[in-house]
Structure 1
């Protein structure tokens, strides 16, 4: 580990290569990464909330498949990987694909053009995206003599942004057209990894890949993203100490504050390990301050779309139960508000018994973020229209209940009340 004065924290950095080349602090997840790749399951899906390190994980996988052992020096994977076999990698970042059929097709066409240039592929004019994807996968395998690693990051971004718009069905149609190739080209593929936040089961990624392994609830991968208490101790001890000194706290008091605000996520039903939100934690250590970093980084776009369907009594969600069949397999568009709030990080697993998950808020930051977003939305979603007195009373009643909890969560002006 570098000396404290030489260390830099990777605030917002999603590139494994940049972190390793520029001596940023790095929480070593490479043993988990190696186990994921080498467990004998080709098709894998991981759901985690936004800002939880999914893109960094994808970049780590890409670097591994590229055989860049030099960037893994000193990490746990060096004791596990012996061959460092290089594989062709096709990586798609669907967060860049917009939210319409046109923008998705444009992004995929651009991404496929880069791959075609790499392998000298000349497709005939008018070739479909599916045909181009198919040709790229097969050619990459044939030219290199190695099967292909395919990494699809933030697969659901266009579907999130287009949901409840006229463009949504056309967007899902593009997915069904293009990604059905993944199953057809099985013999040319080494590993397929897909990340997202929410699950849209009607697209071919889930309906065609019936052998897709959803690792989102698997205990061995519960901490593949995020940071555990042990990892804070192992990798960020100097930063915790410096944060405490800057604020007049002991190290123990600093850890309590970090835990209260950023810890509490659980992603499996047994032997639940506490996981901190990495974005908020690293920002807090860098700033030596406790703030609501996660919410201010941009609210999940679907949240306000769900407001109309949510029960006004949001406090009920802090102790809500959901069937395992719903939380583990259901489509976000039909699974209810609890499912969406879990997938997007506003709720987490608190317990499990007899086919039921108990959900609740992971920490103070998330509780505050939800209420600061939802309350104004409930009060202002029909700005310019006359809000019914009944709706107004419901919003104020919720605000009163929250204020009575003494958590300082209510901005009464945003609720629409100038005098209490």
Structure 2
């Protein structure tokens, strides 16, 4: 019998602090995180599919900038960070902001009120959200004497959900107004990090923050989210053994099955390290079962908004060319089916030649999810 009873897998846990304090397994990415925070650009955008560990990354950055050294004991960052400066952090999770202008305003109003209370900022009754955001950044800097870290998670969530509705333009105008402050308040900011799935280039953060560096395709950050084969073999041997025993496989057969089901993502043609979907891998190891965790988590729900039925039905998903400009810089609303399918995790980079990416399906789980969608479409046509 394989002993895994005293090991805790972080199923559904997105809090770095909870993982560390409660003894959950943590795949150590802190060397890459330190590099991003200290040697990277000041304004950064990272795109990864749903359920790929973006929120854990943001949470880890927040703990780092708040100087919570005790949470990082035993991790790689301890050899790199010598000062542990405690900084003010402004963190927004736009996945909580709904899908319309009223809910976006309400979320920002609530988040800003919390920060205003924390930093003792007096708010005039007629202050706009943009003025309040400006005052929070300046006030946090004044009160602490330290530049502010600003973390915006799932920035595109309200824009995705409002796309193709009458509310979309009103949502984007709030974004333009509020987030323009980030560029204007540069001297008070230490680090700005924004995550998302899709890029709305002309109508939101990307139009007001033209100094935003897209690190989504950078070789040094290819494995900042997700789990590599090396990390899986290093950190999850007992769970892989348990799966092997339950299925009557050898250890190597269990690894091959997990690889076929959940591996195969590539996010940079210069660093083609294989990445497992972390949500699926950890669930599979916790359950000792190979199931379609990603599709059943709602990861497929936005597909009909951005890709029409006929495009899905007619696509040859295994061999999908797309030029590098479209993949790396285009707006999701005009980039075609391949762009959305890549950004949302249905397709991944298979190869690259002279400015052309070849995309394909990453693994067995995604192939099953896509073919089920095609099957459902055929039965409704």
Establish whether TM, by shorter chain, passes 0.5.
Answer: yes
Deviations 1:94-137 (A, max 9, x none): 00000000000000000000000011111111210000000000
Matches within 5 A, 1:189-338: 189-308=189-308, 310-338=310-338
Deviations 1:269-306 (A, max 9, x none): 12300000000000000000100000000134320123
CA contact (8 A) 1:123 1:132 kept: yes
State the alpha-carbon separation in 2 of the partners of residues 325 and 239 from structure 1: 41
Q: Which residue does the alignment assign to 1:157? A: 157
Q: What SS does the aligned partner of 1:46 have? A: strand
Q: Which residue does the alignment assign to 2:22? A: 22
Alignment of 1:140 with 2:137, yes or no, is no
State the alpha-carbon separation in 2 of the partners of residues 213 and 110 from structure 1: 29
Name which structure has the greater RCO, CA cutoff 8 Å, separation 6+.
Answer: 2
Max Rg structure: 1
Aligned-pair CA distance for 1:41: 1.1
Deviations 1:69-117 (A, max 9, x none): 1000000000000000011000000000000000000000000000000
Q: What SS does the aligned partner of 1:346 have? A: coil
Q: Which residue does the alignment assign to 1:93? A: 93
Shift of the 82–124 alpha-carbon distance from structure 1 to 2, 3 Å rule, reads same
State the alpha-carbon separation in 2 of the partners of residues 314 and 259 from structure 1: 28
Aligned-pair CA distance for 1:310: 4.6
Shift of the 321–191 alpha-carbon distance from structure 1 to 2, 3 Å rule, reads same
State the alpha-carbon separation in 2 of the partners of residues 378 and 148 from structure 1: 52
Q: What SS does the aligned partner of 2:332 have? A: coil
Aligned-pair CA distance for 1:4: 3.9
Q: What SS does the aligned partner of 1:340 have? A: helix
Greater mean deviation of Cα atoms: 369-378 or 200-209: 369-378
Q: Could you tell me the TM-score, scaled by structure 1's length?
A: 0.88
Aligned-pair CA distance for 1:208: 2.1
Deviations 1:164-205 (A, max 9, x none): 111111111110010000000000000000000000012341
Count of residues in Structure 1 that have an aligned counterpart in Structure 2: 379
Q: Could you tell me the TM-score, scaled by structure 2's length?
A: 0.97
Shift of the 307–204 alpha-carbon distance from structure 1 to 2, 3 Å rule, reads closer
Greater mean deviation of Cα atoms: 47-56 or 196-205: 196-205
Aligned-pair CA distance for 1:17: 0.3
Q: What SS does the aligned partner of 1:38 have? A: helix
State the alpha-carbon separation in 1 of the partners of residues 95 and 320 from structure 2: 31
State the alpha-carbon separation in 2 of the partners of residues 97 and 369 from structure 1: 28
Q: What SS does the aligned partner of 2:253 have? A: helix
CA contact (8 A) 1:321 1:359 kept: yes
Alignment of 1:352 with 2:363, yes or no, is no
Q: What SS does the aligned partner of 1:240 have? A: helix
Shift of the 241–312 alpha-carbon distance from structure 1 to 2, 3 Å rule, reads closer
Deviations 1:383-418 (A, max 9, x none): xxxxxxxxx4xxxxxxxxxxxxxxxxxxxxxxxxxx
CA contact (8 A) 1:52 1:225 kept: yes
State the alpha-carbon separation in 2 of the partners of residues 82 and 312 from structure 1: 51
CA contact (8 A) 2:313 2:377 kept: no
Shift of the 312–14 alpha-carbon distance from structure 1 to 2, 3 Å rule, reads closer
